Homo-oligomer: A and B are copies of this chain.
Amino acid sequence: MSGPRAASGPAATITTADALHRFARDVFVRVGMSAEHATTVADALVWANLRGIDSHGVTRIPRYVELIERGDVNPTPALTARVETAAIILIEADRAPGPFAMPPAMAAAVRKARDVGVGVALVRATTHTGAIGYYTRQGARDGMAALAVSASTPFMAYHGARAASVSTNPLSIAIPRGEGEPLLLDMATSVVAMGRLLQAKRAGQPIPAGWALDRHGTPTTDPRTAEIPLPLGGPKGAGLSLMIECLTSLVVGNPVIAEALEDTAAGRQHRQNALTLAIDVARFGDPAAFHREVRRLVTVLKAQPRDPDVAEILMPGERGARTAERRRRDGIPIARAVHDELRALASRLGVAMFPTS
């Protein structure tokens, strides 16, 4: 699902993961993060670029800086446990950047899963989550079946509504298979991601009916006016979004959707909440046998009769893993517009711009 989010094309310049990482870290240190926090956030953003999820990569840096400068994101947060049992933890994230709050949450879920088979970490008052697959992959690399969901502000239409009323709440599940990259599903609850709508706008390509509404809530196929994505499968995607808001924001007592739709002071602030879950497959049997069965399932599915229009039957995360391999070798394309925006930011902050070729 990462394909449509890719930024490559003739108008892109090329850089390396190391250069991007150094740049991101320098920017975040300049706006007040510790070197350690800045490194953690840079790790997650550059991972997204490597995987081809460019919409969640360094293109977000100017927005992160803006959110820090206006006080919505806290560059020096203190994470604290508010509720804790053998199996669950509620982490108050103190408006931390998502890529800073989420890895310790998944790590806590993993520790609890090792102890009692399952662990759940709820994250209260984080900010932009970033590419959510980064955190489930972390859980899977620790041997867990891992799940994560996050809640954010309304920008997708609920089924039957003609206005931005729920989030496209990302949902990710990762499954370890013993060798190589885990199976890694990372999906939104909309028909297509916001980034895909922006891509169509840039390319001037009409979009299919059923993808989006314009700002007035009218269905449109015009990429210039498409603004509000529609939910995947109507009541299914919309229902999933509503449930994820309940399972995260309402359980932790930090409602996002209702506050935003009622336009309260809290609702105008950028806030997110999240849930991570880990199940220790080793608790139920030999993990090597589990990994063998995952690989067997992949093998049998990939050998199914194929749609002649597809070159290969792909597993969740497979395209992203291949993109990462290629981009580590050949470099990461950065769209010209993103490059120019980052250069302006670098200049304003007095940070060295990353080199390109």
Q: Which positions in A face B, CB cutoff 8 Å? A: 1, 83, 85-88, 90, 112, 115-120, 122, 145, 158-163, 165-166, 173, 175, 183, 185, 187, 191, 217, 232-233, 235-237, 239-240, 242-243, 245-247, 250-253, 255, 257-258, 261-262, 279, 281, 283-285, 289-290, 293-294, 296-297, 300-301, 304-307, 310, 312-316
User: How many Å from the CB of A200 to the closest CB on chain B?
Assistant: 17
B88 touching A116 by the CB < 8 A rule? yes
A7–B64 alpha-carbon span in the complex (Å): 52
Pick 23 A–B contacts, CB within 8 A, sort by A. A1-B236, A86-B116, A87-B87, A87-B112, A88-B118, A88-B279, A88-B283, A90-B284, A116-B116, A118-B120, A120-B279, A160-B314, A161-B301, A166-B301, A175-B243, A183-B242, A187-B235, A246-B294, A251-B290, A253-B293, A255-B293, A257-B297, A258-B296
Interfacial chain B residues near A122, Cβ < 8 Å? 284
Contacts A122-B284, A161-B304, A289-B253 known; A87 to B117 CB distance under 8 Å? yes
B279 touching A313 by the CB < 8 A rule? no
Number of identical monomers bound together in the oligomeric complex: 2
Contacts A160-B307, A301-B166 known; A246 to B1 CB distance under 8 Å? no
Interfacial chain B residues near A239, Cβ < 8 Å? 173, 185, 187, 316
Chain B residue nearest to A252 (CB atoms) is: B284
Contacts A185-B240, A232-B232, A294-B246 known; A285 to B253 CB distance under 8 Å? yes
